[in-house]
Structure 1
């Protein structure tokens, strides 16, 4: 609550006025560093790591005299790799990379250092300087990355969801007429889960059928779902469940805003409704095996096999929008997800509690989150976390559609969440690192055995209660 009052209102007002703060930061603002010990950064393998190694880190070392080593790894290994070092206080990594779901758990364990604390120690501007620096960042993301009102990490890659859909098909007069005749309302990007099911069913065609006046040589599908045995199936289930007004666990607050406990609802009605709807959607989805996740879904869009990726991560826009190159006449657009509750979060950097050089780590953190760094990250195909970058006119130019085509949709989705993320256990529990894998396991099991949904979700409720009460700071109660 305190965090939103401090930075959220400012960020929201600025974004609504379409004139976000340009909180510039450059290397010349770094004072002479007392500690010259080398620092090690964990970074996700890919273009961002390459950019850091080739461009940013050499400049930082030249300006500060501090060598920066990069440990590059895949996201699948990132949690275990860093957790092992943090648990044993090995001091292996000065700057950590985290997924939003780990943020409060690591903060509660004391593994990450609050930014205000670092700023008070090392920044001539103190806490005021870091708070001003954070103003262009989305309040929802900072709330997720905060603990007890203090921000612990700076996000760099925003994966809020959107619906990546084939605008050329939705705008086709023949398809519009056929849809209206069949369902009794206009064809448009679905706003409700019921409309999502209708639209998915409508666009599913067999080889030999007609689509937008052309004969299909292969089957065509209404949707791509990330239905494999991967974490992303839970993100889809969660977005659907939240849109129904339910959640896996819900924080309860006192009148003063203090977190008192978590409620775990034993009522199955909405969970079973979502399970049934997901199973229906699978019948209209491009065939998927147990490894099918975001890359496969993006490719299904890119190669013209589906009408929609309804729960797409917007940071995959640069991949899915390739359909405009691969399929003649294809136009890809993005809408808000059906139900209006997209999964939201970010990958972020934080300074570890056992850093050998927290002073240099703090300044590198600010440098990597600077306006120019986020702008360059966006130009490389990433989905930035700063409002002043996301809303920059450059990214609305037609020639940059493959890069910025989903930016404004992400902007609106992030603003819609703002402080509402504090109403979901996903983003407030300090044991989500333990709970999240269980959500994934259960959602995948339900997707393969929908007739067992009640039993599987009943087991999940008991598991959430056990994990929250074993590893969390605040008790969970059955409701």
Structure 2
């Protein structure tokens, strides 16, 4: 399926306003046109999917619909959906894509179908509330004038920092004397390096008025080779103005001067990281940070929040602040505080037997009112509708960060922003190649040589992709 990425246009979603006003917000069993139908939903068990499945189940019962939900692991889901589709099965109506990468891969192969026709013909604007989704949530599932699914939650990366250290009078004075500017949560990557360097202390040194009984690190990153490393390097590459793929030329740009500069910068942070960073997973780095062993961390907001439920001795969650990951001065390519965003998406299976009933269930479960209810019934669920985010912030002020992302125009970049179509169809290969290169760079290999090899590998991969599409 050949497609070319264009600028996402909200006007294309004005079709929701033309949709036939379908059902009222609540049907009784005798009123629902879907009474007696069975809808099958394949998903993974996590906070947002459990919240969605429970909500759809309650709606289905009130409509007289038989909702059958099956939970499997994320890895099993990838295999199951593909095997069922290629085998000709019509086993599912709704499938959890996981993220944007898989959504595009499945759409390209026909495994999921676009929702646009159902939105035009069957959506109830009062339920769908398209413009009430955050800008990132709308953009994530929109390809040209097609809607490929609904974003059912928010999952954005954030920079967390030790507020108590950055606001400590002695540390502020020492930082000012050393760097000639005021200590604050880093706004640029240059500042991030300075702050990480400044707070790197050894056992026996002083930190915020006390003597350390173990080493303390300026930053804690999960740099295990694979997606752990790549999902951190992506942020830096985007901020430095790297184009992983140029749709105009069909070529990668991973050995550009900007890419070499970004890789060299990332390696420059190594002296301020724990020695085990090269083998750390995201959950391990988040736990170590929450335990009080470092000053800075960049990871998914929900993962950091979960880790902060188990803070180190003498700490409280309130000493940890959240803000946007850094930028580079001048915002190369117009990217303002770019970071990886991985919103969860649910789509219609390509061979769905009850696509209309499935869509209407998903639509009804995704209203701002029901998303707000999900934040209460399933702690840790972060909604994709702005009104629901506002309600969540009123109850849990720490989640204000997610609302700031939605309202302040920073670049929450999904996979397809980082790897424009059609390169996103090779996202796994891109991640593997770049992680391999960066792993070598982190232990001393020259950035120029490793990125040149990555460029050659990806150029060959993209040539095959162009031929296939």
Q: Deviations over 1:52-75 (max 9, x none)?
A: 55x424312312222222222333
Q: Deviations over 1:390-421 (max 9, x none)?
A: 233x5145xx245x2532343246x3238999
Give the distance between the partners of 1:360 and 1:74, measured in 2 at CA.
25
Tell me what 2:155 maps to: 159
Superposition RMSD in Å? 3.2
Tell me what 1:302 maps to: 290
Tell me what 1:328 maps to: 315
Tell me what 2:17 maps to: none
Give the distance between the partners of 1:368 and 1:165, measured in 2 at CA.
35
Alignment pair present for 1:314 and 2:319: no
Note the C-alpha offset of 1:430: 4.8
Note the C-alpha offset of 1:40: 2.3
Tell me what 2:451 maps to: 457
Tell me what 2:401 maps to: 406
Q: Deviations over 1:21-74 (max 9, x none)?
A: xxx984439962357443322222233444455x42431231222222222233
Give the distance between the partners of 1:79 and 1:67, measured in 2 at CA.
25
Q: 1:246 aligns with which of 238, 242, 245?
A: 242
Give the distance between the partners of 1:203 and 1:391, measured in 2 at CA.
35
Q: Deviations over 1:231-257 (max 9, x none)?
A: 1321211110111111211333xxxxx
Give the distance between the partners of 1:331 and 1:210, measured in 2 at CA.
19
SS in 2 for 1:221: coil
Note the C-alpha offset of 1:133: 2.2
Note the C-alpha offset of 1:201: 1.0
Q: Deviations over 1:326-367 (max 9, x none)?
A: 533661111111111111231110011111221221112213
Counting only pairs closer than 5 Å after superposition, residues 27-426 of structure 1 correspond to structure 2 as 27-28=26-27, 32-34=32-34, 36-52=36-52, 55-98=54-97, 99-123=99-123, 125=124, 133-252=129-248, 262-265=250-253, 267-288=255-276, 292-309=280-297, 311-322=298-309, 326-328=313-315, 331-339=319-327, 340-379=337-376, 380-392=379-391, 394-397=392-395, 400-401=396-397, 404-412=399-407, 415-417=409-411, 424-426=418-420
Contact 2:221 2:285 survives alignment (8 Å): yes
Equivalenced residue count is 442
Contact 1:302 1:326 survives alignment (8 Å): no
Note the C-alpha offset of 1:223: 0.9
Q: Which sits farther off after the overlay, 96-105 or 320-329?
A: 320-329
Please list every run of 5 or more consecutive structure 1 residues that lacks an aligned counterpart in the other structure.
Answer: 10-23, 253-260
Contact 2:260 2:448 survives alignment (8 Å): yes
Contact 1:7 1:134 survives alignment (8 Å): no
Contact 1:113 1:350 survives alignment (8 Å): yes
Give the distance between the partners of 2:314 and 2:134, measured in 1 at CA.
35
Note the C-alpha offset of 1:90: 2.0
Give the distance between the partners of 1:105 and 1:368, measured in 2 at CA.
25
Note the C-alpha offset of 1:174: 0.5
For normalisation by structure 2, the TM-score amounts to: 0.83
Give the distance between the partners of 1:423 and 1:438, measured in 2 at CA.
18
Q: Which sits farther off after the overlay, 207-216 or 76-85?
A: 76-85
Please list every run of 5 or more consecutive structure 2 residues that lacks an aligned counterpart in the other structure.
Answer: 1-5, 15-22, 328-336
Alignment pair present for 1:438 and 2:432: yes
For normalisation by structure 1, the TM-score amounts to: 0.82
